[in-house]
Amino acid sequence: MSVAVFPGSFDPITLGHLDIVRRGATLFDSVIIGVARNAAKKALLELDDRLRLARLAVADLPNVTVEAIPGLLVDFCREREASTIVKGLRSGSDLDDEVPMAAMNRHLGGVETVFVPASGALLHVASTLVRDVARYGGDISDLVTPEVATAVYAALGTRP
Protein backbone atom coordinates (compact mmCIF):
# COMPACT_ATOMS: atom_id res chain seq x y z
CA MET A 1 0.00 0.00 0.00
CA SER A 2 1.66 3.28 -1.10
CA VAL A 3 0.80 6.24 1.08
CA ALA A 4 1.85 9.82 0.32
CA VAL A 5 1.47 12.99 2.35
CA PHE A 6 0.73 16.30 0.63
CA PRO A 7 1.73 18.85 3.27
CA GLY A 8 1.10 22.57 3.44
CA SER A 9 -0.45 25.42 5.33
CA PHE A 10 -3.50 25.47 3.03
CA ASP A 11 -4.35 29.00 4.11
CA PRO A 12 -6.52 28.59 2.10
CA ILE A 13 -6.56 25.45 -0.06
CA THR A 14 -6.66 26.54 -3.73
CA LEU A 15 -7.57 25.00 -7.07
CA GLY A 16 -3.81 24.67 -7.60
CA HIS A 17 -3.52 22.46 -4.52
CA LEU A 18 -6.55 20.45 -5.63
CA ASP A 19 -5.01 19.83 -9.05
CA ILE A 20 -1.89 18.40 -7.39
CA VAL A 21 -3.98 16.29 -4.97
CA ARG A 22 -6.09 14.84 -7.80
CA ARG A 23 -3.03 13.93 -9.82
CA GLY A 24 -1.20 12.62 -6.74
CA ALA A 25 -4.20 10.43 -5.96
CA THR A 26 -3.63 8.60 -9.26
CA LEU A 27 0.01 7.88 -8.36
CA PHE A 28 -0.47 6.48 -4.84
CA ASP A 29 -2.96 4.14 -3.18
CA SER A 30 -3.81 6.93 -0.76
CA VAL A 31 -2.91 10.55 -0.20
CA ILE A 32 -3.17 12.37 3.11
CA ILE A 33 -3.45 16.13 2.93
CA GLY A 34 -1.42 17.22 5.96
CA VAL A 35 -2.41 20.64 7.25
CA ALA A 36 0.44 22.20 9.21
CA ARG A 37 0.11 24.84 11.90
CA ASN A 38 3.12 26.80 10.58
CA ALA A 39 4.61 28.39 13.68
CA ALA A 40 6.46 30.98 11.54
CA LYS A 41 3.41 32.83 10.23
CA LYS A 42 0.00 33.83 11.58
CA ALA A 43 -2.63 32.11 9.48
CA LEU A 44 -5.67 33.92 8.14
CA LEU A 45 -7.89 30.88 8.67
CA GLU A 46 -7.99 28.83 11.86
CA LEU A 47 -6.64 25.29 11.64
CA ASP A 48 -10.13 23.80 12.07
CA ASP A 49 -11.43 25.88 9.14
CA ARG A 50 -8.49 24.89 6.95
CA LEU A 51 -9.18 21.23 7.77
CA ARG A 52 -12.94 21.55 7.13
CA LEU A 53 -12.49 23.37 3.82
CA ALA A 54 -9.91 20.87 2.61
CA ARG A 55 -12.21 17.95 3.55
CA LEU A 56 -15.11 19.53 1.67
CA ALA A 57 -12.94 20.11 -1.39
CA VAL A 58 -11.78 16.48 -1.65
CA ALA A 59 -15.05 14.82 -0.61
CA ASP A 60 -15.30 13.20 -4.08
CA LEU A 61 -11.85 11.59 -3.87
CA PRO A 62 -12.18 8.24 -2.05
CA ASN A 63 -8.44 7.73 -1.47
CA VAL A 64 -7.74 11.23 -0.10
CA THR A 65 -8.03 12.15 3.57
CA VAL A 66 -7.21 15.32 5.50
CA GLU A 67 -5.41 15.54 8.84
CA ALA A 68 -3.55 18.08 10.93
CA ILE A 69 0.24 17.74 11.22
CA PRO A 70 0.89 18.42 14.91
CA GLY A 71 4.69 18.55 14.75
CA LEU A 72 7.40 17.49 12.35
CA LEU A 73 6.27 16.31 8.93
CA VAL A 74 8.63 13.31 9.03
CA ASP A 75 7.13 12.14 12.35
CA PHE A 76 3.66 12.39 10.83
CA CYS A 77 4.83 10.39 7.78
CA ARG A 78 6.29 7.68 10.03
CA GLU A 79 3.09 7.43 12.10
CA ARG A 80 0.97 7.11 8.96
CA GLU A 81 3.47 4.74 7.26
CA ALA A 82 3.82 7.19 4.38
CA SER A 83 7.10 6.82 2.50
CA THR A 84 6.60 9.77 0.15
CA ILE A 85 5.85 13.48 0.32
CA VAL A 86 4.08 15.04 -2.67
CA LYS A 87 4.58 18.69 -3.52
CA GLY A 88 3.51 20.89 -6.41
CA LEU A 89 6.01 23.07 -8.26
CA ARG A 90 4.98 26.23 -10.08
CA SER A 91 8.33 27.86 -10.72
CA GLY A 92 12.05 27.86 -10.19
CA SER A 93 11.60 29.83 -6.98
CA ASP A 94 9.27 27.11 -5.67
CA LEU A 95 12.04 24.64 -6.47
CA ASP A 96 14.58 26.77 -4.59
CA ASP A 97 12.32 26.68 -1.52
CA GLU A 98 11.40 23.04 -1.84
CA VAL A 99 14.75 21.37 -2.47
CA PRO A 100 16.19 22.15 1.00
CA MET A 101 12.95 20.98 2.65
CA ALA A 102 13.01 17.77 0.62
CA ALA A 103 16.65 17.19 1.57
CA MET A 104 15.91 17.90 5.25
CA ASN A 105 12.96 15.51 5.28
CA ARG A 106 15.09 12.80 3.69
CA HIS A 107 17.86 13.52 6.21
CA LEU A 108 15.51 13.45 9.19
CA GLY A 109 13.25 10.59 8.25
CA GLY A 110 14.38 8.95 5.01
CA VAL A 111 11.21 10.23 3.34
CA GLU A 112 11.46 10.98 -0.37
CA THR A 113 9.69 13.94 -1.99
CA VAL A 114 8.01 13.67 -5.39
CA PHE A 115 7.40 16.93 -7.25
CA VAL A 116 4.39 17.30 -9.51
CA PRO A 117 4.54 20.20 -11.97
CA ALA A 118 1.63 22.61 -11.67
CA SER A 119 -0.78 22.72 -14.60
CA GLY A 120 -0.11 25.66 -16.90
CA ALA A 121 -3.49 27.26 -16.28
CA LEU A 122 -2.85 27.32 -12.51
CA LEU A 123 0.72 28.60 -12.39
CA HIS A 124 -0.40 31.91 -10.87
CA VAL A 125 -2.52 30.38 -8.11
CA ALA A 126 -0.93 30.71 -4.66
CA SER A 127 -2.58 31.04 -1.25
CA THR A 128 -0.67 34.26 -0.58
CA LEU A 129 -1.95 35.86 -3.78
CA VAL A 130 -5.50 34.60 -3.16
CA ARG A 131 -5.49 36.25 0.28
CA ASP A 132 -4.10 39.45 -1.15
CA VAL A 133 -6.64 39.65 -3.98
CA ALA A 134 -9.51 38.98 -1.56
CA ARG A 135 -8.16 41.51 0.96
CA TYR A 136 -8.77 44.27 -1.57
CA GLY A 137 -12.13 42.97 -2.78
CA GLY A 138 -10.86 41.16 -5.88
CA ASP A 139 -12.59 38.16 -7.37
CA ILE A 140 -11.17 34.80 -6.21
CA SER A 141 -14.08 32.70 -7.46
CA ASP A 142 -12.02 30.94 -10.14
CA LEU A 143 -9.04 30.35 -7.85
CA VAL A 144 -10.70 28.48 -4.95
CA THR A 145 -13.88 26.52 -4.19
CA PRO A 146 -17.04 28.52 -3.37
CA GLU A 147 -16.85 27.49 0.30
CA VAL A 148 -13.24 28.66 0.51
CA ALA A 149 -14.10 31.99 -1.13
CA THR A 150 -16.88 32.57 1.42
CA ALA A 151 -14.56 31.74 4.33
CA VAL A 152 -11.71 33.93 3.07
CA TYR A 153 -13.92 37.00 2.50
CA ALA A 154 -15.53 36.46 5.92
CA ALA A 155 -12.14 36.21 7.65
CA LEU A 156 -10.96 39.40 5.95
CA GLY A 157 -14.24 41.29 6.33
CA THR A 158 -14.31 42.02 2.60
CA ARG A 159 -16.37 40.95 -0.41
CA PRO A 160 -15.89 41.02 -4.18
Span of 21-29, 66-74, 88-96, 112-120 interacting with ligand PNS by CB under 6 A = 66-74
Position among 4, 36, 53, 77 found at the interface with ligand PNS (CB under 6 A): 36
The set of residues, in sequence order, having a beta carbon less than 8 Å from that of 111 and lying 6+ positions away, is: 73, 74, 77, 82, 83, 84, 85, 105
Q: Rounded to whole angstroms, how far apart are CA atoms 101 and 135?
A: 29
Q: Which member of 9, 17, 87, 131 is catalytic?
A: 17
CA 158, distance to chain mean position in Å, is 24
Strand partners, 32: 5, 65
Instruction: Pick one of 30, 105, 113, 145: the residue that binds ligand PNS (CB under 6 A).
Output: 105
38 binds ligand PNS (CB under 6 A): yes
- Three-class DSSP category at 142: coil
CB of 73 to ligand PNS, least distance (A): 3
Binding of ligand PNS by 14 (CB under 6 A)? no
Q: Is 17 tagged catalytic?
A: yes
For the annotated catalytic residues, the residue numbers are 17, 41, 90, 127
